[in-house]
Amino acid sequence: MSGLATSNIPVDPVASNPSQPSITSSTTTPDASRREPAPSTAGTTELAGQSVTALSEQEQKKLETAKKLVIDSLRFVPDFPIPGINFIDILPIFQNPVAFESLLEVLVLLTRERFGNQIPDVIVGLEARGFLFGPSLALRLNRPFVPVRKKGKMPGACITVEYKKEYGKDEFQVQTDAIKPGQTCLIVDDIIATGGTAAAAGELVELSKAKVMGYLFMIEITCLKGKALLGDKPMITLVEHDEEE
């Protein structure tokens, strides 16, 4: 396989955003990141503590600078869309070309840090916020992008799996000819909370007779322990948010 493609565009550091409000959450209301329950104490957000072993010193510096820019671009909105829900808004990243470039730089470097020169055959993105950066990441890696969507939103024959949500159930689909047997897939989404949607996407990959190479998320809500549903598959996380701290 070919090596990972990285951008030559420089990454500029930015100062922390002092106006970001602190987050509080309710023990009985869901978290807006995936509408999941969240603890009642205020939380903190920090860079995911992943050791860098395969990157050069220059790449390590670029990675940390880009991480800082991305996390400073996040916006935290309490009581949205209803009181008691704490919303982690990633959209400001995409309104800032430098921040978006930094996000892609980070994701490519973290993928290389975890997998070396092995590149997934397919990038699989989850509806809907996984669509915001999944196709761009796939383009950087020179790989196809395959969407996973809610049932009934794609034409043609589809593979369907059912997964549990906080209130009831839902269904995910992938088109039957989108992922080829034997391909390795990296599943990407913005946030992992309880892990149900990511696990459902993994099941779709396996039903396509392909392999889950790993998972990549911008943000992990660590207190909800969603990665437990992903088994022993590698998981790459840019930012950790723990609302219990």
Whether 121 contacts 185, CB under 8 Å:
yes
pTM for the whole structure: 0.78
Residue type for position 190: D
In 3-state terms, what secondary structure has residue 241? strand
Q: CA–CA separation, 241 vs 245, rounded Å? A: 9
Contact criterion met (CB below 8 Å) for 211 and 27: no
pLDDT of residue 4: 39
Question: For the purposes of burial, counting CB atoms within 10 Å of the CB of 25, is it exposed (0-12), middle (13-18) or buried (19 or more)?
Answer: buried
Specify the pLDDT at position 74. Answer: 92
CA-wise closest residue to 114 among 123, 106, 125, 124: 106
Size of the chain in residues: 245
What residues does each domain of the chain span? 30-242
How high is the pLDDT of residue 200?
A: 97
CA gap 185, 190 in Å, rounded:
17
What is the per-residue pLDDT for 7?
39
pLDDT at 245: 40
pLDDT for the residue numbered 226: 93
Q: Which residues of the chain have pLDDT under 70?
A: 1-54, 166, 243-245
Whole-angstrom distance, CA of residue 212 vs CA of residue 204: 10
Q: Which CATH number fits domain 30-242: 3.40.50.970, 1.10.8.640, 3.90.1640.30, 3.40.50.2020?
A: 3.40.50.2020
Q: What pLDDT does 243 receive?
A: 63
